[in-house]
């Protein structure tokens, strides 16, 4: 065997499938591919018979690579991480450079994440990054050297320092051969750089390291067994240090700990704030997803500490949540036990480090091309209608609600998106014509993302909460083709407001009864319009307790951070809420947000 390609694998099937598709046309006689599955939740499988799969208990990437070396038989060895990519001529380019002791190849990041690259232009150029995947090695040079299994990160550097010694025959591929995927969520590198691994980065700084500083050498040797070690110095008289640490001129560097002499170049890697639950949404519209978040946070805040990460929630929406959740735009690293994703087409944010992930299915499978994400631990449909449309075995967990204090007035109302066909815009037009023809006077207030432009309907933009308006109405109107859950119907029933609806399948699950809770019209709007003159009165309750118990079994025990009332002592502009907070103004926020404001000197905790 000439070349062995070793792929350590852990829970990144969609990326690895793409990698093997690129390797497939390149496989030739004398080349073997060994994939070491390091205890993934679902064992990796592929239809490519040339890919030899070995599965072991989870021991880490170093153990997986070492197992690959043990199983391989090639004269040369190359490593590819399972979530990265290579070129269509990766194998032939490496083999064309043989013989060599080791080979350096140009590399760069894939689009979509942080961008880095290292372009080698001549045979004399060398890679500066201590990475095993951007190199290939002869088996003779590797010998008995192995990756340090005691390190959770930065294991490459130690391996490269030991293998890539002075005086060896080095080959260079100037073309880009390797492509890093820097946007993989929960990756080991990202967890390391956020201080979430047992392996740390220790920084030593001495203006000058003299030959008699042998105690320092011994200390660096010990630290290198478990941690990544950097040494910043203007002059180093102990050359052996470079075998155990990355030695460089003083420059800006982040690390877990600084030892030696003080330096302004050092900045500390701070641990990310930690929550029981993080909810992520990329939507900025007031819709069923926002209502789900609002209701879930208010129902569960006494059990769990909750953060809501978003891309574009406005100040009013945030204000409705901040008494029970830490609300922040995505960016800085955050940790949680459970990450809850709101939309199937959203990628998990890079800044979130989690132990388990939950995907909420809010919608029926309207588009047959929609696919469920493969990297979620739980899939939760919000109704049996949703579950059946996706044909999945997962347990239904109905949406919770959170009613506000009520007052009573009466009118006709809708709260719906109108930018998609299935929401029933043409049926709304038909209903207006039917009511006019029957000479039934009406006032119809429509809260929507777009103006229906129907004479007789008054349009209002979406708002965070229209419970008051719903309870003031005779009817809530919902004329969709289908709904996965339909918050607006449940909210109306909770408020004692009757509903005009089409025969969507989820009505039975919601406990809706025709002629008791309102009236069902056919999808062609067939039905007796005169019935609307007899407005039903009823009582209806939606039981959140069993749903809450389902979530408790999924999420486990939490800390339940309480809300805190704070009083402003200095006028400031709250960037999160996009408004000014005045002196002596009081507000209730979640504990994490209160800590931020108080530590900045703008407020104090109310007694």
- Indicate if 460 and 486 belong to the same structural domain: yes
Q: Which residues of 225-241 are buried (b: 16+ CB within 10 A; e: fewer)?
A: eebbbbbbbeebebeeb
**DSSP 8-state code for residue 49:** T
Task: Please give the C-alpha separations between residue 319 and each of 433, 464, 483, in angstroms, as whole numbers.
Answer: 40, 10, 28
For 557-570, what is each residue's pLDDT tens digit?
887 767 889 999 99
Would the CA dihedral through 127, 132, 135, 136 be positive or negative?
positive
For 109-128, what is each residue's pLDDT tens digit?
886 555 678 899 999 999 88
- Indicate if 350 and 434 belong to the same structural domain: no
Percent of the chain scoring above 90 in pLDDT: 51
For 235-266, what is each residue's pLDDT tens digit?
999 988 888 888 889 988 888 889 999 998 88
What residues contact 444, with CB distance under 8 A and at least 6 apart? Answer: 411, 412, 413, 414, 432, 456, 457, 458, 477
Angle 279-280-282 from CA coordinates, rounded to 5°: 150
pLDDT at 407 over 70: no
pLDDT at 34 over 90: yes
- 124 and 43 Cβ atoms separated by less than 8 Å: no
- Indicate if 26 and 174 belong to the same structural domain: yes
Which of 161-170, 354-363, 556-565 comes out lowest in average pLDDT? 556-565
Mean pLDDT (the chain, rounded): 88
Rounded to 5 degrees, φ, ψ at 25 are -70, -15
- Indicate if 207 and 249 belong to the same structural domain: yes
**DSSP 8-state code for residue 156:** H
- Is the residue at 543 inside a domain? no
- Is the residue at 210 inside a domain? yes
> What is the band of 411 on the pLDDT scale with cuts at 50, 70, 90?
confident
For 335-347, what is each residue's pLDDT tens digit?
899 999 999 988 8
> What is the band of 405 on the pLDDT scale with cuts at 50, 70, 90?
very low
For 177-220, what is each residue's pLDDT tens digit?
999 886 555 555 555 555 556 678 889 999 999 999 989 989 98
* Res 408: pLDDT: 44
* Res 182: pLDDT: 66
- Indicate if 455 and 364 belong to the same structural domain: no
Higher pLDDT, 224 or 502: 502
Domain coverage including residue 64: 3-184
Rounded to 5 degrees, φ, ψ at 215 are -65, -35
pTM of the model: 0.58
Percent of the chain scoring above 70 in pLDDT: 94
- Is the residue at 573 inside a domain? yes
- Indicate if 128 and 240 belong to the same structural domain: no
Between CA 467 and CA 157 the distance in angstroms is 59
For 146-161, what is each residue's pLDDT tens digit?
998 887 556 677 888 8
pLDDT at 283 over 70: yes
Q: Of the candidates 131, 243, 151, 163, which has an alpha carbon nearest to the alpha carbon of residue 200?
A: 151
Domain count, the chain: 5
- Is the residue at 310 inside a domain? no
> Could you report how far apart the first and last alpha carbons of the chain are, in Å?
75
pLDDT at 83 over 50: yes
């Amino acid at each position: 065997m000439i070349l062995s390609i070793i792929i350590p694998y852990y829970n990144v099937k969609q990326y690895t499938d793409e990698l093997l598709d690129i390797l497939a046309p390149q496989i030739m006689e004398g080349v073997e591919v060994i994939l070491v599955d390091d205890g993934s939740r679902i064992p990796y499988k592929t239809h490519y018979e040339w890919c030899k799969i070995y599965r072991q208990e989870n021991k880490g990437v170093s153990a997986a690579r070492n197992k690959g070396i043990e199983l391989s038989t090639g004269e040369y060895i190359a490593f590819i991480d399972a979530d990265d990519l290579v070129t269509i001529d990766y194998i032939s380019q490496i083999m064309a450079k043989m013989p060599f002791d080791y080979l350096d190849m140009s590399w760069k990041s894939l689009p979509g994440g942080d961008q880095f690259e290292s372009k080698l232009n001549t045979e004399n150029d060398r890679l500066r990054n201590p990475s095993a995947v951007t190199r290939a090695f002869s088996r003779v040079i590797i010998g008995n050297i192995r990756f340090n299994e005691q390190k959770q990160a930065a294991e490459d550097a130690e391996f490269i320092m030991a293998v890539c010694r002075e005086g060896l025959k080095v080959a260079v591929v100037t073309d880009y051969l390797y492509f890093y995927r820097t946007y993989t969520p929960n990756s080991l590198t990202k967890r390391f750089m956020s201080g979430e691994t047992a392996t740390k980065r220790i920084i030593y700084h001495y203006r000058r390291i003299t030959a008699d500083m042998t105690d320092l050498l011994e200390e660096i040797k010990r630290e290198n067994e478990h941690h990544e070690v950097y040494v910043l110095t203007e002059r180093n008289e102990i050359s052996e240090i470079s075998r155990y640490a990355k030695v460089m001129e003083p420059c800006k560097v982040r690390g877990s700990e600084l030892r030696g002499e003080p330096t302004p170049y050092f900045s500390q890697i701070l641990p990310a704030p930690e929550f029981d639950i993080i909810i992520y949404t990329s939507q900025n519209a007031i819709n069923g997803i926002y209502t789900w978040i609002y209701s879930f946070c208010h129902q569960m805040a006494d059990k769990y500490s909750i953060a809501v990460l978003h891309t574009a929630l406005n100040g009013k929406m945030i204000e409705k949540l901040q008494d029970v959740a830490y609300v922040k735009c995505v960016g800085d690293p955050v940790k949680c036990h459970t990450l809850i994703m709101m939309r199937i087409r959203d990628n998990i944010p890079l800044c979130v480090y989690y132990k388990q992930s939950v995907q909420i299915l809010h919608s029926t499978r309207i588009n047959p091309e929609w696919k469920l994400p493969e990297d979620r631990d739980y899939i939760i449909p919000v109704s049996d209608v949703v579950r059946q449309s996706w044909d999945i075995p997962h347990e239904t967990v109905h949406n919770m609600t959170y009613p506000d204090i009520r007052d009573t007035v009466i009118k006709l109302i809708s709260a719906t998106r109108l930018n998609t066909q299935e929401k029933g815009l043409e049926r709304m037009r038909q209903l207006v014509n039917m009511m006019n023809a029957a000479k039934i006077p009406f006032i119809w207030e429509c809260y929507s993302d777009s103006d229906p432009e129907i004479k007789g309907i008054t349009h209002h933009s979406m708002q965070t909460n229209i419970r008051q308006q719903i309870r003031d109405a005779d009817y809530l109107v919902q004329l969709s083709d289908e709904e996965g859950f339909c918050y607006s119907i449940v909210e109306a029933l909770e408020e004692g407001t009757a509903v005009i609806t089409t025969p969507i399948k989820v009505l039975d699950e919601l406990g809706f009864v025709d002629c008791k809770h309102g009236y069902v019209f056919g999808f062609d709007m067939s039905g007796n319009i005169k019935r609307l003159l007899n407005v039903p009165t009823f009582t209806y309750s939606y039981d959140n307790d069993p749903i809450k118990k389902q979530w408790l079994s999924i999420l486990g025990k939490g800390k339940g951070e309480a809300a805190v009332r704070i009083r402003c002592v200095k006028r400031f502009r709250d960037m999160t809420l996009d408004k000014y907070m005045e002196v002596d103004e009081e507000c209730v926020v979640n504990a994490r947000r209160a800590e931020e404001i108080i530590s900045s000197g703008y407020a104090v905790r109310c007694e």
